[in-house]
A and B are shown apart, each in its own frame.
Chain A
Amino acid sequence: MTPLVRRWWPTALFFAVITSMPLWIHDGYVLQLIFRVLVFAVLGMAWNFVGGYAGQLSLGHVAYFGIGAYAMTLSVERIGWNPWIGVLLGAVLAALAALIIGSITFRLRGPYFALSTLAAAEIIRVLVQNQDELTHGAVGTNAPLLFKAPDIDAKFFWGVIPLLAAAFALSTWIHNSRFGYRLRAIRENENTAMAVGVNPAVDKLLALLPSAVFTSLAGSIYASYFSFVGPDTVLTIEISVQVALIAMLGGAATVWGPILGSVVLTLTSEIFKTYFEHTHLVVYGLLLIVVVIFLPGGVISLFTRRWSFRRQVGPIGAQQ
């Protein structure tokens, strides 16, 4: 095998398998479950730019998710645009929000940063909730469909794959580029980063921008698939936490980590919901604790110890 083939066959195989899934999986529930896995993989990868590589533990990424969902919905409903234009509007608005939120919250470090991002997302939720005339307030409203029948499940499924591929490509680039190393330097030690010529304020923002845009795009697709936007569904803190957990559980600052994290977290929470009913959150919590204690590098460290892409591991303990 040539080095190129050797390096990329797992990626090619992965994308070939998931792309073919709607052709051989005919169970709507299973397809919907995997669709959620893929959307959250995109979200985990997007969060990873900021939270994993740059080590800035954002707990407010739902803000960009919600902006994507609401921008698409409201530009159809209030302006009468095509929903896809609304998706683009969401991405632009998310980038603007990232510039504003980032330039304020990145002044803070460690837990103060995390709390400030959480607060920023809450501000957006409260704003949306109180603008009844524009947003339908706390009640929420129906989201438009980005894909029309027939085979709507398969179309949504295929709709998210280009997004996943783009997030994967950007992750791979960050992982190996000078920019990625600058982000790691910021994560590990801002003083050292500055001593090698990194401007942390600028680079953190540069990481947040694509992160917000991908999160917004995923938010649009997700809301459209479930045909609903509401402050309690697309602007809830739970999504922020889940996205961060996915990246860290799978393996922060790795390309495959968030994908793995999304598979593990989305599937286990679904299984636990089925088998443990009301106690599923307890089991879920225990699982998280076990992974954090025994696999501090994330689930991916199970594989990378044996396989040759070992160097993709960046320990979670490196977070501030």
Chain B
Amino acid sequence: MGRILEFEKVTKRFGGLLATNDVSFHLEEGEIVFLIGPNGAGKTTVFNLITGFVKPDAGKIRFRGRDITGGEPYEATRLGIGRTFQVVQPLPALTVRENVMLGTFLHHPRRKDAADRADQVLDFMGLRSRADQLASGLPLAHRKLLEVARAIGTGATLLLLDEVMAGLNPREAEEVVGLIRRLQEFGITSVGGVEHIMRIVMSLASRVVVLDQGRKIAEGPPGEVVHDPKVVEAYLGSKFVAGSARP
């Protein structure tokens, strides 16, 4: 056990907007931590900072004790940080298997090995029957799963899931929850998530970090955080407190 990710006093400015304002949090090995907060709170920016798509103006980011502040996205991937994108970006001209192979090629240089590994991941994700289909023909729910499969395929140990449940129906979302719980099978020890569906967050997260307008306003087990008055005010609205008896 140990801290797999440390996000320390990180600030990111876009022009006059403080997208991330002196935010600190960490992820322990084996933990599932969700970032929540209203739209524009800076959740995706935090993921972009961790994976190097956005460079911080101040602060430190460490992965397994190693300073990765300001690194490049492909470096983050090679170190073992996998991610999905909020707007799903499968490569439409490639088949489902080939999309996952883009990930598995990272540690399996030979085509055959990469394909075998991709099939294992597709089996896990329940997409194996779609393997030879072009990614452009997949319905949204499957494209979301494909996005996750590709990230798993990179051999990541930390997986960052950016709103993978959005747009899924409750049954599909339930399936994905089941898959996330079983990610250790693929060597993924820790998961960071951004999600709007509170029911999912409550059932999966060991901790949540609440962001509002670029600041961290609360952190803790989901059951406690949802009762925090600051959180209620900023994000959930008073209705949720009344209904929180059935999370």
Q: Across the interface, do B106 and A192 meet the contact criterion of CB distance under 8 Å?
A: no
Q: Which of B78, B85, B109, B153 interacts with A191 by CB under 8 Å?
A: B85
A189 within 8 A of B: yes
Interface 9-residue window, one of A41-49, A91-99, A175-183, A226-234 = A175-183
* Bitwise interface map of A from 166 to 199 toward B, beta carbon under 8 Å scored 1, else 0: 0000000000111001101100110111111111
Q: Across the interface, do B106 and A188 meet the contact criterion of CB distance under 8 Å?
A: no
Alpha-carbon distance between A199 and B91 when the two chains are bound, in angstroms? 17
Taking the nearest CB of chain B, how far is it from the CB of A76, in angstroms?
A: 43
A31 within 8 A of B: no
A119 within 8 A of B: no
Alpha-carbon distance between A199 and B98 when the two chains are bound, in angstroms? 19
Q: Across the interface, do B85 and A192 meet the contact criterion of CB distance under 8 Å?
A: yes
Q: Across the interface, do A188 and B91 meet the contact criterion of CB distance under 8 Å?
A: yes
Q: Across the interface, do B93 and A184 meet the contact criterion of CB distance under 8 Å?
A: yes
Which A residues lie within 8 Å of B101 (CB)? 181
Q: Which of A184, A196, A199 interacts with B103 by CB under 8 Å?
A: A196
A318 within 8 A of B: yes
A298 within 8 A of B: no
Q: Across the interface, do A191 and B89 meet the contact criterion of CB distance under 8 Å?
A: yes
Q: Across the interface, do A197 and B89 meet the contact criterion of CB distance under 8 Å?
A: no
Q: Which of B51, B74, B92, B93 interacts with A199 by CB under 8 Å?
A: B74
Alpha-carbon distance between A199 and B74 when the two chains are bound, in angstroms? 6
A314 within 8 A of B: yes
Q: Which of B77, B93, B109 interacts with A196 by CB under 8 Å?
A: B77
Evaluate whether A178 and B94 lie within 8 angstroms (CB atoms) in the complex, with A194-B73, A194-B74, A195-B51 already known: no
In this complex, what residue of B is CB-closest to A198?
A: B74
B209 within 8 A of A: no
B205 within 8 A of A: no
Which A residues lie within 8 Å of B73 (CB)? 191, 194-195
Alpha-carbon distance between A251 and B95 when the two chains are bound, in angstroms? 18
B105 within 8 A of A: yes
Chain A to chain B contacts (Cβ below 8 Å), 25 pairs: A176-B111, A178-B105, A178-B109, A178-B111, A178-B114, A181-B98, A181-B101, A181-B105, A182-B102, A182-B105, A189-B89, A189-B91, A191-B89, A192-B85, A192-B90, A192-B91, A194-B73, A194-B77, A195-B77, A195-B82, A195-B83, A197-B77, A199-B72, A199-B74, A315-B93
Residues of A within 8 A of B (CB): 176-178, 181-182, 184-185, 188-189, 191-199, 311, 314-315, 318
Residues of B within 8 A of A (CB): 51, 53, 72-74, 77-78, 82-83, 85, 89-95, 98, 101-103, 105-106, 109-111, 114, 150-151, 153-154
Q: Pick the 8 closest A-B CB pairs, nearest first.
A: A194-B73, A188-B91, A197-B77, A197-B106, A178-B105, A196-B102, A318-B93, A199-B74
